Amino acid sequence: MPTTTRTHSPATTHAETAHGLSARKFTLHFLEMVVAMVVGMVALHPVWTLVLDALGAPGLMDNPYTGSLIMATNMTAAMSAWMKVRGHRWRPIVEMGAAMYLPFLVLFVPLALGLIGTGALMLWGHVLMLPAMAAAMLLRPHEYAHC
């Protein structure tokens, strides 16, 4: 009777699904995106400050609507660049970018109605980005968790 050769160790088999997806790779990619977003916020904020000052529009950074969109743009730019370096196609990059903006856009409604303040907009916008990113990643598990 022929014997079958096992290609995965028990530890590897535990972390992978039957479709060759790795929860570890998925999580690592998620964390890479968070780091890229932080880098984008820190590195690009001074650029926006200089440009808006030069244009005579420094108040745009202080406005909760434009300020949050600028911040989402900073995060999206860095995250998109890192995803492109990692070889991702444009469609998943755009989907992940949408996850950066969507929470803020949704929260603009309660902000405009006076139901939340600027602090809540910033806090919840950032908090809600995380499940929005995870949802975008779950749309394409092979893109983010393939072994």
**Residue boundaries of the structural domains of the chain:** 22-145
Q: State how far the Cα of 68 lies from the Cα of 61, in Å rounded to an integer.
A: 8
Nearest C-alpha neighbor of 27 from the set 13, 18, 15: 15
The pLDDT of residue 5: 44
- pLDDT of 134 > 80? The answer is yes
Query: What is the pTM (predicted TM-score) of this model?
Result: 0.78
In the structure, what pLDDT confidence band is assigned to residue 110 with cuts at 50, 70 and 90? Answer: very high
Which 3 state secondary structure label does DSSP give 89? coil
- Count of other CB atoms within 10 angstroms of residue 6: 8
- For helices 64-85 and 90-112, give the axis angle rounded to 10 degrees: 170
- Phi, psi dihedrals of residue 24, rounded to the nearest 5°: -65, -45
